[in-house]
Homo-oligomer: A and B are copies of this chain.
Amino acid sequence: MKLPDPPLNQASEIAGDWPLHGLAEDMRPALAQALARGAAGLATIISLGEGGPRPVGAQMVFGMESRAGFLSGGCIEADVEAHARACMADGRPRRLVYGEGSPWPDIRLLCGARIEILVERLASDDDAARALLALAEAREPAAWISDGERRLCAPASDPAPTWPGAFSRRFDPPPRLVVFGGDPTALAVASLGAQSGFSTTLVRPKGPIAPPPLAGVAYRRDDVAGAVAAVGLDAWTAVAVCGHDEEVDHEALLAALPSAASYVGLLGARRRLGARLDRLRAAGVAETDLQKLRAPIGLDLGGKAPFEVAVAIIGEIMASRHGQPALARRPVSTPDGDGQAAKPPGGGKS
């Protein structure tokens, strides 16, 4: 392993800049855009002291005139970018160390952490980058391995061939969200889902011809079966049934509960839940699939306004993605059970 490079840029922040480029977590879309125009620079946190602001594997992508992602919240981004642009010019990878143990402690990390970053150049036809994007498109988990000079990207199901000095991380398929419904609450859920990085589709059978004016939200107005078949429900897909039409909701649950979808939630009155579950049972849905249902949907935040319900639902999906045990809740089979979940946010729909 080479020695870390010295800081090139003493500025602790890109002055005058609001870092909107850091709002997205998944760097693959930015990488695809950058590579379409030429070579790209990729900066990856490969090692971290305790308490760092961003996890190991967090990345920034630099294109000809673009940047995306963030690594610290402002302490090091400008310096990393300077190194990345130098790397894009000369092709030589860099390992940068900031904070504790850095031989060049000019840039102070306020958190006191140690951040080690690999900076590498990806040619526009880089095989590993192409494989990464193709696997995302095919919705297969990918293993990314690189030492900055040599890179490999393969399906994560393959035995991972790694080597000394190489960093590896996993890329799951981009998370998806399917929202059934069309009322203000459903619109808020879809909008927040898209902003939070979910590839989001709003499904409203026989809905308006014009799509909803929500940035980043795809729209389908065909029937439930057609919409579900077109979108596909895999393990990285969450389904939020926030509909208004009991038949549509029922069909959506019939499709989603037995599917691989990792999260299925239903907005609706608790007192109607028993009858709806009975109807699903009668239609052949297995008990194990019914156990998957989050109903009433969402964290118990206590509010009923559209964005309150949206935060409750998207928050629950996030917690379930990260396996947060703090959010375990009573099983759906005892909807009138222990009373711990008073005042659900999705307490009813007319």
Whether A51 sits at the interface, judged by CB under 8 Å, is yes
Listed residue (A269, A318, A342) with the most chain B CB atoms within 10 angstroms of its CB = A318
Q: Which residue of B lies closest to A18 (CB)?
A: B212
Determine if A308 and B349 form an interchain contact, defined as CB atoms under 8 angstroms apart.
Answer: no
| Residues of chain A in range 72-93 having any CB-CB distance to chain B below 8 Å | 72-76
Chain A: interface size category: 35 or more
Determine if B324 and A301 form an interchain contact, defined as CB atoms under 8 angstroms apart.
Answer: yes
Whether A158 sits at the interface, judged by CB under 8 Å, is no
Whether A137 sits at the interface, judged by CB under 8 Å, is no
Give the residues in chain B near A98, CB-CB below 8 Å.
350
In the complex, the count of this chain's copies comes to 2
Determine if B306 and A187 form an interchain contact, defined as CB atoms under 8 angstroms apart.
Answer: no
A187 to chain B, nearest CB (A): 7
A42 to chain B, nearest CB (A): 18
A19 to chain B, nearest CB (A): 5
Listed residue (A17, A115, A188, A303) with the most chain B CB atoms within 10 angstroms of its CB = A303
Query: Do A308 and B51 contact each other (CB < 8 Å), given the known contacts A20-B184, A213-B20, A350-B76?
Result: no
Query: Do A184 and B246 contact each other (CB < 8 Å), given the known contacts A306-B25, A319-B302?
Result: no
| Interface SS, A side | loop
CA distance A315 to B192 in the complex (A): 13
Whether A23 sits at the interface, judged by CB under 8 Å, is yes
Name the contact of A303 in the complex, choosing from B74, B185, B322 (C-beta under 8 A): B322
| Residues of chain A in range 286-304 having any CB-CB distance to chain B below 8 Å | 299-304
Give the residues in chain B near A318, CB-CB below 8 Å.
301-303, 308, 311-312
Determine if A196 and B311 form an interchain contact, defined as CB atoms under 8 angstroms apart.
Answer: yes
- Annotate A53-74 by CB proximity to B: 1 below 8 A, 0 otherwise: 1110000000000000010111
Query: Do A350 and B18 contact each other (CB < 8 Å), given the known contacts A303-B321, A318-B301, A318-B308?
Result: no
